[in-house]
Structure 1
């Protein structure tokens, strides 16, 4: 259930994530509420990607010590491929987050804290889902084929739904939350609760934080089966997922400022999902696609889609700050 990693490597991973979150919270507290500029988003994106790649090198070294270079090469390649897949699929989350922030008119100064809280909630819930998924696959191997079929169907639906407008008002999660929460009509700074007509009620900020967490878990239903197609090792699945999520906040502010330039990216993500789902299904006939081929396909499809998106992007203004 806990994969091939020794206990000390699990402990090192947990320590690195806790330290990274501590530093992130300390920086957030020091900076206070503020709108995140594009240069700041770029700097933090570089930091998180560098941390993830450094962990991959550390992971490779750890497996060399424990199991030899052949296993180390395989695990490091699986981590890198899984990280890129999860990072790519996170783009879909970002556009939904952007829709949520726009719908609830979340002030730009509050968006950073909302994402931080939502990401921590998502990390905890994803860890639980991954460990359960690893146990299910170990006990019922046929569930991999169910995951594969699900990803192929999801990819086809993503491709065909690209031209449809998102409708947050009909979102079932939002409808459910409104049944259980009385929400004030106005924000009260960064507070989650406030007094309205003499009663203590939730602020829109609490509703937005909850929606962000729920949305990420819903998207995990797609992304977690996708990475199980790359590796069935729960340690690699969990670490690549968590490191992809750690940089999600910086990635949000970066892509939110350039959303129009990547208007074709969902088509690339749809192709990636269909490819990964197919990879899981063909194992039934004894066909195993190597991790290096998977990595090349994922990088190639996303690179082509992003370049084509930039070439055909509509003209947008050169705003330096992400606005609400």
Structure 2
């Protein structure tokens, strides 16, 4: 078991909050279109921070925990790329001005961290109290993987999302943006701008992704500290990664299929762990190093296959996939 004292927890959370504060200050003080060079610098910086943390963890607590962290980080990073697909759709659907996308993404990251923090605490508590939760988490991931694979060529219908529809019906909203403001004055009344709906849509998507990603990373490690760190460091680089790969996302045509396979694989891993603990210790378990190899292998195959496909057929476009079928017009 990983022994993490209160000071280490405090310093880790403090580092995450400090990096978030930098993002918030930049978004509020200097709204601008993020260029390729800036996005590369921030992306590399966040990856180096995550790697440095993993190196420290390995040296301080051993290679096994270091491997668990890196495996969890890679899983969360790959799932966050799929999250980016949906962010792109939201930005496009609501025509968010480029200079304010930075602010929206920062909010999305903060919301995701809060929601995942809640789910991490809840998940860790349930797993410590009820070992059959490993079975339930495993079945949930397999179901999610099957649904994602079935609807891998679809885009989520943001406009018809229940949360977005409710917001439009309940809140007084203007039709136009007013810079980066959430609220403005229209016809003498204080109303929300479309940015309010965008933030609500981002928050709703974050909730859905948290429901998938937390069981997935618990399939790699049941250490709450590692689960939090893997999620936090993967999400912190999401804003920069968005601007870096926004133009390349359309080329990852097999990403959703690959993520579906990864979710299914981790689901099987969780079920085998449950069976090993609760039924018979002779039931084999899947080791973390093997899991790390499988995950990296799947991502490499998916990336290469996607690039080959789009090179042969440039008109092919990627989709983030959907967890439910969309109604299609006749």
TM-score by length of 1: 0.90
**Structure 2 CA distance for partners of 1:185 and 1:147, relative to 1, 3 Å:** same
2:138 counterpart (129, 132, 148): 148
Kept in 1: contact 2:24–2:103 (CA 8 A):
no
Q: Quote the RMSD (CA, aligned, Å).
A: 1.7
Match of 2:279 in 1: none
Match of 1:289 in 2: 286
Secondary structure of 1:170's aligned partner:
coil
In the TM superposition, 1:186-201 aligns within 5 A as: 186-201=176-191
Structure 1, unaligned stretches of length 5 or more?
Answer: 64-71, 317-324
Mapped to 2, the partners of 1:276 and 1:237 lie a distance apart of: 14
Question: Shift of residue 160 of structure 1?
Answer: 1.1
Mapped to 2, the partners of 1:79 and 1:136 lie a distance apart of: 21
Kept in 2: contact 1:192–1:205 (CA 8 A):
yes
In the TM superposition, 1:1-324 aligns within 5 A as: 4-29=3-28, 32-63=30-61, 72-283=62-273, 284-285=275-276, 286-313=283-310, 314-315=313-314
Kept in 2: contact 1:279–1:289 (CA 8 A):
yes
Instruction: Give structure 1 regions of 4+ aligned residues with deviation exceeding 4 angstroms.
Output: none
Secondary structure of 2:99's aligned partner:
helix
Kept in 2: contact 1:156–1:270 (CA 8 A):
yes
Which whole-Å deviations, capped at 9, do the CAs of 1:201-220 have from their partners, x for residues lacking one?
Answer: 11111221222122112111
Question: Shift of residue 29 of structure 1?
Answer: 4.6
Equivalences, count: 306
Mapped to 2, the partners of 1:192 and 1:106 lie a distance apart of: 12
Question: Shift of residue 37 of structure 1?
Answer: 2.0
Mapped to 1, the partners of 2:3 and 2:200 lie a distance apart of: 34
Kept in 2: contact 1:151–1:273 (CA 8 A):
yes
Structure 2, unaligned stretches of length 5 or more?
Answer: 277-282, 316-330
Which whole-Å deviations, capped at 9, do the CAs of 1:162-201 have from their partners, x for residues lacking one?
Answer: 1234322221121222233221100000000001121111
Kept in 1: contact 2:108–2:199 (CA 8 A):
yes
Q: Which moved more, 1:107-116 or 1:167-176?
A: 167-176
Mapped to 2, the partners of 1:196 and 1:3 lie a distance apart of: 56
Mapped to 1, the partners of 2:156 and 2:14 lie a distance apart of: 39
Kept in 2: contact 1:38–1:257 (CA 8 A):
no
Which whole-Å deviations, capped at 9, do the CAs of 1:229-252 have from their partners, x for residues lacking one?
Answer: 111111111111111110111111
Mapped to 2, the partners of 1:202 and 1:236 lie a distance apart of: 39
Question: Shift of residue 61 of structure 1?
Answer: 3.0
Q: Which moved more, 1:238-247 or 1:206-215?
A: 206-215
